[in-house]
Amino acid sequence: MIVTSPWLLFAIPFWWLKGRAHLKKKIADRAVFDPTLLPYDERVLDYLHSEKKDGRTLILTTASTRSQAQDVADHLGLFNIVFATDSRVNLKGSQKASLLNEELGRFSYLGNDESDIAVWKAAETVGIANASKELERRIASDYIVEVQIPRRRGTFRSMINALRPYQWAKNLLVFVPILTANQLYDGTAWLAALVVFVAFSLTASGIYVLNDLTDLAADRRHLRKRRRAFASGKVPILYGFVLVPLLIATGFMIAWEGAVLSPLAAYVVVSLAYTFCVKEFPLADVFCLTFLYLIRLFAGGLITGFHLSLWLLGFSAFLFLGLAFVKRVSELSAAQRESQKMSRRGYLTQDLIVLTIMGIGSSFASCVLLALFVQSPEVAARYRSPTVLWVLVPLILFWQLRLWLSTARGDMLDDPILYAARDWVSWIASATAAAIIILASGTSFG
């Protein structure tokens, strides 16, 4: 809802003033709700199926709105009765306990939250599912526990995965100006670039979490992305809303100390524009992704004082544009194979050929500009053996074309950076490129 109608953020405080029940109804009236996409806990469903088979009456009692609760009940086909929040009463805690007492008198209650304590007090027996260890201990010591389904393990690990630390490899671009300036032994520059690396990494993780939160429905429809931390339900969505401002604010504070606040702010603004709007527009999205790569290079040059030449910026722009096209082509190819439509993307399956042509053309253009950079007077002045750098041209072209070949064969993942991080050929190409730069610089280890 917020993604398609961000202006509603300004209306939420006014809805809240009229009570949580009113707020929930207003949001439910505007949100697209699909019960088939919710991350249900199979252990809980198995327990409910077993109890229903034994003849127990199952009642869905929830603080969610009536329409949403009824949709879930209809989808699962388990519940005999549905009690839910209406426009007047937020059915949570004591309100829920009062209603169940009034309607049923005696009942057993399965819950998982602190707010359920009031209901457990009124229940004959209690059930606990996916609650915290502390809450489990409190309830087990005070009440008759009929069933206890422990919280699924791996929440912390899934939360770390949600930060996508492997994507931090993109932020290594802030160190590139040190390499191109042939200042390998400048410790001050390396330390300054490290500060920028940390700032961009934390901020990027905040953006990735926000992106996952806005793409929940699309991810839950996707064969692979539905296993992501928030889409799968392994990490509560509330955690995401805490992580986003915390990570971005921390990144901004570090950038302030490192005097690179402006490029980081530009990165955040463009990233947010991409997340909420630009990703839905064909071609604009890949140019937006290209900018997000380039701003990292610019920040590295700004903090170290080793600014990139126009030839090198041109090479980088086409290189990153090619990688962005790889990402889109791989996603579109996967959607075509799985007979699915790309959610929140402006591309059609018939665009696949032209996108591939654009991407491969960008890869070749990048290497042409790299060749022009290698023979420039600037490189000749900085490197002892600049001719050696010519080997980089076919090496980088080979690496890019291999990415395209993998994409055509359906082996490419959604992100070429992730693919390269797991690809032994890419590791060899990276090590070879590093050796070429060291050899060209005339660095001796003897």
**Residue 81, phi then psi, degrees to nearest 5:** -140, 150
The reported pLDDT for the residue numbered 152 is: 76
Residue ranges for the chain with pLDDT beneath 50: 444-446
Show the tokens assigned to 442.
Answer: 């005339």
Name residue 261's amino acid: L
The reported pLDDT for the residue numbered 422 is: 84
Beta bridge partner(s), residue 111: 128
The helix/strand/coil state of 398 is helix
Q: Which residues contact 313 (CB under 8 A, 6 or more apart)?
A: 294, 297
The reported pLDDT for the residue numbered 311 is: 86
Q: Where in the chain is the domain with CATH 3.40.50.1000?
A: 37-153
> What distances in angstroms separate CA 42 from CA 156, 232, 409, one per listed residue?
21, 12, 35
* Sheet of 125-129, strands arranged across: 108-111, 125-129, 145-149
DSSP string, 126-184: EEEES--HHHHHHHHHHS-EEEEEPPPS-HHHHHHHHT-GGGGGGGGGGGHHHHHTT-T
The reported pLDDT for the residue numbered 29 is: 61
154-308 CATH pick, 3.40.50.11540, 1.10.357.140, 2.40.50.140, 3.40.50.300: 1.10.357.140
The reported pLDDT for the residue numbered 444 is: 44
The reported pLDDT for the residue numbered 388 is: 92
Residue pair 258/196 in contact (Cβ under 8 Å)? The answer is yes
Task: Report pLDDT digits (tens) over 45-70.
Answer: 999 999 999 999 999 998 888 888 89
- Residue 141, judged by CB atoms within 10 A of its CB (0-12, 13-18, 19+), counts as exposed
Beta bridge partner(s), residue 108: 125
What whole-number distance in Å separates Cα of residue 313 and Cα of residue 163? Answer: 29
Show the tokens assigned to 252.
Answer: 């901004």
Give first-to-last CA distance, the chain, whole Å: 63
Task: Report pLDDT digits (tens) over 221-245.
Answer: 766 777 788 887 788 888 888 999 9
37-153 CATH pick, 3.40.1190.20, 3.30.479.30, 3.40.50.2300, 3.40.50.1000: 3.40.50.1000
Q: What is the pTM of this model?
A: 0.75
Q: Which residues contact 370 (CB under 8 A, 6 or more apart)?
A: 315, 392, 393, 396
What whole-number distance in Å separates Cα of residue 298 and Cα of residue 197? Answer: 12
Q: Where in the chain is the domain with CATH 1.10.357.140?
A: 154-308
Residue pair 353/330 in contact (Cβ under 8 Å)? The answer is no
